[in-house]
Amino acid sequence: MRKSAGQGRPEQEPTTADGQRRNGAGTLSGGAGPAPRGRRQSGSYKWVALSNTTLSMTMATIDASIVIIAMPAIFRGIHLNPLAPGNISYLLWMIIGYLLVQAVLVVTLGRLGDMFGRVKIYNLGFVVFTIASILLSVDPLIGASGAMWLIGFRIVQAFGGAMLMANSAAILTDAFPANQRGMALGINQIAGISGQFVGLLLGGVLAAWDWRAVFWVNVPIGVFGTIWAYLNLREVATTRRAKIDWLGNVTFALGAGLLLVAITYGIQPYGGHPTGWTSPFVLGGLAIGIVLLVAFCFIELKIPEPMFDMRLFRIRAFAAGNLASLLGAIARGGLQFMLVIWLAGIWLPLHGYNFVDTPLWAGIYMLPLTAGFLIAGPISGILSDRYGQRLFATAGLLVATCAFVGLLLLPIVFPYWIFGTLIFLNGVGSGLFASPNTSAIMSSVPAYRRGSASGMRSTFQNSGMSLSIGIFFSLMVAGLASTLPRTLTAGLHSQGVPLDIASKVAHLPPVSTLFAALLGYNPIHNLLGPTGALNHLSAKQVGVLTGKQFFPSVISGPFHHGLVIVFTAAAIMSFIGAMVSLLRGKQFYYDDSGSGAGQVAAATAAPAPAAAAAPAELSGQAEQVGQARRGAEPNGTPREAANGPAVTAGTSGTANGTSGNGHGTNGSANEAGGNAHGTNGSAVPAQANGDSGHPTDDDAAAGSSRGQRR
Give the CA angle between residues 662, 667, 672 to the nearest 5°: 50
CA 559 to CA 579: how far, in whole Å?
A: 30
Threshold 0.75, pTM exceeds? no
Least confident of 44-53, 512-521, 562-571, 590-599: 590-599
pLDDT above 70 (res 618): no
Q: Does residue 83 or residue 644 have the better pLDDT?
A: 83
List pLDDT tens digits, range 652-700.
333 343 333 444 334 333 333 344 343 343 333 333 333 333 333 333 3
Q: Does residue 397 or residue 465 have the better pLDDT?
A: 397
Q: Classify strands 588-590 and 705-709 as parallel, antiparallel or unpaired.
A: antiparallel
Measured between its terminal Cα atoms, the distance across the chain in Å is 32
Amino acid residing at 382: I
Q: Does residue 570 or residue 615 have the better pLDDT?
A: 570
Question: 555: part of which helix (H) or strand (E)?
Answer: helix 550-582
CA 232 to CA 227: how far, in whole Å?
A: 9
pLDDT above 90 (res 511): no
pLDDT (average), residues 362-389? 84
pLDDT above 50 (res 441): yes
CA 510 to CA 707: how far, in whole Å?
A: 53
Residues 6+ apart with CB under 8 A from 362: 69, 200, 339, 340, 343, 344, 348
Kindly state the DSSP code that residue 197 receives in the 8-state scheme: H
pLDDT (average), residues 145-167? 90
Q: Does residue 274 or residue 391 have the better pLDDT?
A: 391
What are the two backbone dihedrals, phi and then psi, of residue 123, each rounded to the nearest 5 degrees? -60, -40
Q: Where are the domains of the chain?
A: 42-244+307-479+561-582, 245-306, 593-710
pLDDT (average), residues 209-229? 89
CA 133 to chain centre: 22
Beta-bridge partners for 662: 676
| Domain 42-244+307-479+561-582, CATH | 1.20.1250.20
Is 663 within 8 Å of 675 (Cβ atoms)? Answer: yes
Amino acid residing at 530: P
Q: Classify strands 676-677 and 662-663 as parallel, antiparallel or unpaired.
A: parallel
How confident is residue 421, by pLDDT bands cut at 50, 70 and 90? very high
pLDDT above 50 (res 13): no
Q: Write a three-state SS string for 632-673.
A: CCCCCCCCCCCCCCEEEECCCCCCCCCCCCEECCCCCCCCCC
Spatial CA neighbour of 392 closest among 382, 403, 405: 382
Which pLDDT belongs to residue 490?
Answer: 87
CA 25 to CA 365: how far, in whole Å?
A: 57
Is 618 within 8 Å of 12 (Cβ atoms)? Answer: no
Give the side-chain half-sphere CA count within 13 A for 252: 27
CA 63 to CA 56: how far, in whole Å?
A: 11
List pLDDT tens digits, range 371-383.
888 888 778 878 8
Which pLDDT belongs to residue 686?
Answer: 37
Which pLDDT belongs to residue 629?
Answer: 36
Sequential DSSP letters for 371-413: HHHHHHHHHHHHHHHHH-HHHHHHHHHHHHHHHHHHHHHS-SS
CA 547 to CA 567: how far, in whole Å?
A: 29
Q: Write a three-state SS string for 61-128.
A: HHHHHHHHHHHHHHHHHCCCCCCCCCCHHHHHHHHHHHHHHHHHHHHHHHHHHHHHCHHHHHHHHHHH
Burial of 391 (0-12, 13-18, 19+ CB in 10 A): middle
CA 189 to CA 374: how far, in whole Å?
A: 10
Which pLDDT belongs to residue 424?
Answer: 94
Question: 370: part of which helix (H) or strand (E)?
Answer: helix 367-387
CA dihedral sign, ordered 276, 277, 283, 286: positive
| Tally of residues, the chain | 710
Is 199 within 8 Å of 62 (Cβ atoms)? Answer: yes
Which span out of 81-90, 92-101, 175-184, 403-412 was modeled with the highest average pLDDT? 403-412
Which pLDDT belongs to residue 69?
Answer: 77
What are the two backbone dihedrals, phi and then psi, of residue 509, each rounded to the nearest 5 degrees? -55, 130
CA 299 to CA 306: how far, in whole Å?
A: 8
